[in-house]
DNA sequence: GTGGTCTAGACCACG
DNA sequence: GTGGTCTAGACCACA
């Protein structure tokens, strides 16, 4: 289901988290959909259940998923996702964007990327304001 | 000079790195300017010199600064900064931007932010405002 | 395992690096093989773990090995090795070769050495001996 | 006369040494020729006389130059250069060559480079053995 | 048990 | 006085 890179410095449980979030962003996992059980996911990826458990817990804390005791874990609605998370992401976005501009990446390049991503993500695109 | 957060999961030496890069991006540290000596910075921030040393070493490897033995450390020119760093930043930018759009942040909001930052960073602004 | 020379101007951690690279070149360490743990290597060589850690860290940055948190360090594939490293080596090679020729070492002597090493390293040998 | 790179990790006195040796190798400095005085060289390069002094001392120890008290320093003949130096260089050559082959540089590439350098250095070239 | 980070304190080469 | 290296010893997150 998800691709892990053991060589990456990023901990496995974070790779699992990122992979799941990516799936939500891309639409591979839809709101309300049930996630595989911790054990099922662990065995299918051949890693320790503790690692999956940790990823799920962290995702729940950030509001991306919610667990129902005895039922499993489910993808939350976008509104459930912690506004703190959005603010954190915006802060990161500012920092990264600032550094990219500093490094000489053209403002228009970033706008083009932004347009492309907005189309993909299904947002309506402003017809041609730029 | 820089603010540290010991409770943050991010290692101190990385916080130092980030802080210094931010200073370069914002213009607080200009090309060729001398950085505080390892010892001076360490004592002013009340942390171990080895930790500062490590931050400087890492910044040097990424091309942000260069060290002259017996003289000190200095801010490098933008051209010296490793292109790998730029690519890494772009990858992060894509991921963060994608997730922000997913979370409902409007494309135009991000464009506005981008415009504001581009002006600050001294880039000439495209004449037709978009 | 490796030989250290404390009187050498070359730092210990670089001697460790060189020794490990030599092992890879000679085939004593194969792709994917696990390196001794930082602690194990340190105690077997009677030096500080931090010094080994530094050697490993540097080797990882150059692409010779990779570390997995909680698992250990492993020999990378040749393709992972930074192309910058190759260019640096070629520059050194040119300088050293030039000086050897200047010092009177015959071109054919170097060619003979080259042939011998190419055979050892498993490269197919050009059929006409030169 | 010589180009210095203050950003380079290599100490200045070594850069001076390397530069002078390169001049000898390339023929810019011929056997018996007088080197600039320590003071003259230092002022022309805008660096500390101690640094030049150190470079000269080191070159003399390796046999590349010799000093006549009250007269100055002169380029030695090739035969004066310590045979230890040649052996050291050969050891380095073997290590670097081995690693280059390991990294996938073709044996023939190195031979081509060798041929080119031999021509430049004025050695007679074997007509076309390869 | 593994790698990663941090501190405290020391010594050295360089300019 | 500067950066660079090294040791000793400690704590933490990860799998």
Q: Does pLDDT of B85 surpass 80?
A: yes
Measure the CA–CA gap between A122 and D115, rounded to whole angstroms.
61
Q: Does pLDDT of C125 surpass 90?
A: no
Q: Does pLDDT of C74 surpass 90?
A: yes
Q: Which two tokens stand for residue A125?
A: 């695109």
F14 C1': nearest CA residue: C70
- How do residues A28-59 score in pLDDT, each as one tens digit? 999 999 999 999 999 999 999 999 999 999 99
Task: Report yes or no on A129 lying in a domain.
Answer: no
Q: CB of residue C50 closer than 7 A to nucleic acid strand F?
A: yes
Q: Do A96 and B99 touch (CB under 8 A)?
A: no
Specify the number of domains making up chain A: 2
Pair A26, A73 in one domain: yes
Q: Does pLDDT of B130 surpass 60?
A: no
Task: Report yes or no on A2 lying in a domain.
Answer: no
Q: Does pLDDT of D69 surpass 50?
A: yes
Pair B72, B97 in one domain: no
Q: Which residues of D77-92 are buried (b: 16+ CB within 10 A; e: fewer)?
A: eeeebeeeebeebbeb
| Positive/negative CA dihedral, D88, D90, D94, D96 | positive
Protein CA at A48 to nucleotide C1' at F4, angstroms: 42
Q: CB of residue B53 closer than 7 A to nucleic acid strand F?
A: yes
Protein CA at C50 to nucleotide C1' at F6, angstroms: 8
Protein CA at B37 to nucleotide C1' at E4, angstroms: 25
Pair C72, C99 in one domain: no
Task: Report yes or no on D7 lying in a domain.
Answer: no
Q: Do A9 and C71 touch (CB under 8 A)?
A: no
Q: Does pLDDT of A72 surpass 50?
A: yes
Pair B69, B96 in one domain: no
Q: Which two tokens stand for residue B79?
A: 């051209």
Tell me the pLDDT of chain D averaged across its residues: 89
- Neighbouring chains of B at 3+ CB pairs under 8 Å are A, D
Q: Which of A18, A99, A113 sits opposite B89 (nearest CB)?
A: A99
Q: Does pLDDT of A129 surpass 60?
A: no
* C100: confidence class by pLDDT, cuts 50, 70, 90: very high
- How do residues B18-41 score in pLDDT, each as one tens digit? 999 999 999 999 999 999 999 999
Percentage of the residues of chain A whose pLDDT score is greater than 90 = 75
Measure the CA–CA gap between C78 and C91, rounded to whole angstroms.
20
Pair D68, D111 in one domain: no
Measure the CA–CA gap between C109 and C111, rounded to whole angstroms.
5
User: Residue D116 belongs to what domain range?
Assistant: 83-120
Task: Report yes or no on C6 lying in a domain.
Answer: no
Q: Does pLDDT of A128 surpass 60?
A: no
Q: CB of residue C13 closer than 7 A to nucleic acid strand F?
A: yes
Pair A107, A60 in one domain: no
Pair A50, A21 in one domain: yes
Q: Do A99 and B123 touch (CB under 8 A)?
A: no
Q: For residue C122, what pLDDT is reported?
A: 64
Pair B44, B71 in one domain: yes
Measure the CA–CA gap between A96 and B94, rounded to whole angstroms.
10
Task: Specify which residues D4 forms β-bridges with.
Answer: none
C-alpha dihedral, C116 to C122 to C124 to C127, nearest 10°: 30
Task: Report yes or no on A52 lying in a domain.
Answer: yes
Nearest nt to the CA of D14 via C1' is E14
* B1: confidence class by pLDDT, cuts 50, 70, 90: confident
Cα distance from A70 to chain C (closest Cα, Å)?
32
Percentage of the residues of chain B whose pLDDT score is greater than 90 = 85
Q: For residue D89, what pLDDT is reported?
A: 94
Q: For residue B120, what pLDDT is reported?
A: 77
Q: CB of residue C58 closer than 7 A to nucleic acid strand E?
A: no
3-state helix, strand, coil in chain A (%, to 5): 55, 5, 35
Q: Do C117 and D126 touch (CB under 8 A)?
A: no
Rounded mean pLDDT, B71-100: 94
Task: Report yes or no on B106 lying in a domain.
Answer: yes
Residues of B whose CB is below 8 A from A110:
93, 114
Pair B71, B96 in one domain: no
Pair D21, D73 in one domain: yes
Q: For residue D122, what pLDDT is reported?
A: 61
Task: Report yes or no on D89 lying in a domain.
Answer: yes
What's the whole-model pTM score? Answer: 0.89
Percentage of the residues of chain D whose pLDDT score is greater than 70 = 92
Q: Which among B50, B35, B32 is positioned nearest to B2, based on CA atoms?
A: B35
Pair D74, D19 in one domain: yes
In Å, how far from its chain's centre is CA D127?
28
The CATH number assigned to the domain holding A47 equals 1.10.10.10
Percentage of the residues of chain D whose pLDDT score is greater than 90 = 76
Tell me the pLDDT of chain A averaged across its residues: 89
Q: Which of C93, C94, C105 sits opposite D86 (nearest CB)?
A: C105
Pair A74, A96 in one domain: no
Q: Is there contact between D and A if contact means ≥3 C-beta pairs under 8 Å?
A: no
Q: Does pLDDT of B122 surpass 80?
A: no
Q: What is the DSSP string of chain D?
A: -----TTSSS-HHHHHHHHHHHHHHHTSS-TTPBPPPHHHHHHHHTS-HHHHHHHHHHHHHTTSEEEETTTEEEEPPGGGS-HHHHHHHHHHHHHHHHHHHHTT--HHHHHHHHHHHHHHTTPPPPSS--
In Å, how far from its chain's centre is CA C86?
12
Backbone angles phi, psi at A91, to 5 degrees: -60, -45
Q: For residue B34, what pLDDT is reported?
A: 96
Tell me the pLDDT of chain B averaged across its residues: 91
- How do residues C33-64 score in pLDDT, each as one tens digit? 999 999 999 999 999 999 999 999 999 999 99
């Amino acid at each position: 289901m998800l691709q892990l890179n053991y060589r990456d410095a990023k901990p496995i449980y974070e790779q699992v988290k990122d992979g799941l979030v990516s799936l939500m962003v891309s639409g591979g996992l839809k709101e309300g959909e049930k996630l595989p059980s911790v054990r099922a996911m662990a065995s299918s990826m051949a890693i320790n259940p503790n690692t999956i458990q940790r990823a799920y817990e962290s995702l729940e804390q950030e509001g991306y998923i919610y667990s129902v005791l005895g039922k499993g874990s489910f993808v939350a609605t976008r509104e459930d996702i912690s506004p703190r998370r959005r603010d954190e992401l915006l802060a990161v976005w500012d920092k990264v964007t600032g550094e990219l501009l500093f490094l000489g990446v053209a403002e228009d390049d970033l706008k083009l990327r932004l347009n492309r991503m907005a189309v993909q993500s299904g947002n309506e695109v402003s017809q041609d304001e730029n």
